[in-house]
């Protein structure tokens, strides 16, 4: 009889331990993949860009509808990328748990981070123009770590479209900041040449 009691209890303990391993410190399911969609920082808009706007664009991208979001027929105004590396996903998820609730604020949104979790739930992190690390997480205002902002922007390629001096979190990554500054010069020269070609074609 004693053995009959111990065996089910042991199986229950193993099951609970396994489930706990799939949870992060806040009780949320761990993330599987991270999908990031963002506007170039330089994009002009007559009205503030909302999280819902970027979310609708992200849905279009999943359906391979990019045509409406290109400038001059070649430079993307909206870019998206997946983060599937488990090490970075775990780091992002861990830093996200350090978020602190703040008062509501207004900002022109530029990036939407969709976090798909083990249980099928999708969490959304919306990052603005200049007020980061103030963000909206599932429509609630928070402040997050500079390091989390850095990882999301760096791994998604967001910095390459902007002046690195605009971002305070890059002050902790001086070597990367220098590389970005050098790459920005190269990219600017490339874009200027392309614009000249297109302008000449239009005149002809």
Instruction: Please report, for the chain, the start and end positions of each structural domain, with discontinuous segments joined by +.
Output: 26-156
Confidence of residue 26 (pLDDT cuts 50, 70, 90): low
The pLDDT of 36-54, averaged and rounded, is 78
DSSP, residue by residue, 4-43: HHHHHHHHHHHHHHHHHHTB-TTSPBPEEEEEEEEE-TT-
**8: Cβ–Cβ under 8 A, 6 or more apart, which residues?**
none
The pLDDT of 99-123, averaged and rounded, is 92
**Rounded CA gap, 53 and 168, in Å?**
26
Please check the confidence at residue 71 and state whether its pLDDT lies above 80: no
**Rounded CA gap, 129 and 111, in Å?**
8
The per-residue pLDDT for range 57-69, each reduced to its tens digit, is 887 765 545 555 5
Confidence of residue 54 (pLDDT cuts 50, 70, 90): confident
Q: What is the pLDDT of residue 102?
A: 96
CB 34 within 8 A of CB 92: yes
**Rounded CA gap, 30 and 24, in Å?**
6
């Amino acid at each position: 009889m004693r053995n009959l009691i111990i065996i089910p209890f042991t199986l229950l303990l193993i099951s609970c331990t396994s489930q706990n391993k799939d949870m992060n410190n806040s009780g949320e399911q761990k993330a599987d993949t991270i999908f990031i969609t963002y506007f170039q920082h330089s994009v002009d808009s007559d009205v503030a860009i909302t999280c819902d706007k970027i979310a609708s664009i992200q849905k279009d991208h999943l359906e391979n509808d990019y045509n409406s979001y290109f400038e001059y027929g070649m430079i993307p105004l909206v870019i998206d990328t997946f983060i599937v590396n488990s090490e970075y996903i775990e780091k992002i998820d861990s830093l996200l748990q350090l978020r602190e609730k703040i008062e509501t604020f207004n900002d022109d949104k530029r990036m939407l981070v969709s976090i798909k979790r083990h249980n099928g739930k999708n969490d959304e992190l919306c990052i603005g123009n200049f007020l980061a690390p103030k963000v909206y997480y599932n429509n609630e205002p928070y402040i997050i770590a500079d390091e989390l902002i850095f990882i999301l922007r760096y791994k998604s390629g967001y910095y390459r479209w902007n002046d690195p001096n605009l971002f305070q979190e890059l002050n902790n990554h001086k070597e990367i900041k220098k590389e970005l500054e050098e790459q920005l010069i190269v990219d600017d020269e490339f874009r200027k040449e392309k614009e000249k070609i297109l302008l000449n074609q239009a005149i002809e």
